Amino acid sequence: MLLDTLLGLLPELNKAFFETIYMVAISLFVAIIVGLPLGVLLFVTDRGLFLEHAILKSVLGFLVNMVRSIPFIILLVGLLPLTKLLTGTTIGPTAASVSLSVAAIPFFARIVETSLREIEKDVIEAAVAVGATPWMIIKDVLLPEARPGIVQGITITTISLVGYSAMAGIVGGGGVGDLAIRFGYYRYDNTVMITTIVILICLVQVIQFAGDRIARLVDKR
């Protein structure tokens, strides 16, 4: 009986699982591509650093804080016009990825900035003193030194994205979380709810485990 329900659910679960992976992957990709440079910029324009720039720093800081302070649900709905513009539609996992990305960018950027802040100032200074260009310092000192922190940041961002992607159901985003809400929460179907939650728990565990392993592997300190 239980098994039958589960087996019947399998195609739906399968689809939802890959939708989740799809949304998370796209948003994570965008978050890294945009958030990493943004995080670096937030750091190097800071006071006393080699690209110190008070105005740029405060503008970027303000934007990041602004996006981060908007509740995700509101962002999801508020960004519908942008979603439509970018993807041509407002429903489905691709559409949901737009707001997920927008939310993940500042989140990840702040994590990158924080990891960079852990680097001893003298180490950066030594690179400046040797006559290196800003680009060289970023590429050969900042990013390698912050690598363990950045890898952990990617793990945290990924897990947060898995969580946020559940809300994407509101705009018909799909995914495992959406399934849990639709079947489990609204229809009181405990079997589906528990199954999806188990899947999400496993997914998060696997991501955390992999993230920790990689972080340890790249840590030379």
Residues found near other proteins in the complex (CB under 8 A): 120, 122-123, 125-133, 136, 140-141, 144-145, 147, 218, 220-221
CA distances from residue 51 to 56, 140, 141 in whole angstroms, order as listed: 10, 16, 15
3-state secondary structure of 210: helix
Q: Which is nearer to other proteins, 12 or 140 (CB)?
A: 140
Query: Which of 177, 28, 174 minimizes the C-alpha distance to 101?
Result: 28
Q: Which is nearer to other proteins, 128 or 156 (CB)?
A: 128
* Closest CB 107 distance from other proteins, rounded Å: 24
CA distances for 111 relative to 34, 52, 108, angstroms: 13, 20, 5
State which residue, 124 or 200, has the beta carbon closest to other proteins. Answer: 124
**Whole-angstrom Cα distance, residue 38 to residue 172?**
30
Cα–Cα distance between 201 and 159 in angstroms, integer? Answer: 10
Q: How far is the CB of 136 from other proteins (least distance, A)?
A: 6
- Beta carbon of residue 44, minimum distance to other proteins (angstroms, whole number): 14
Min. distance of Cβ 219 from other proteins in angstroms?
A: 8
Nearer CB in complex with other proteins: 102/215: 215
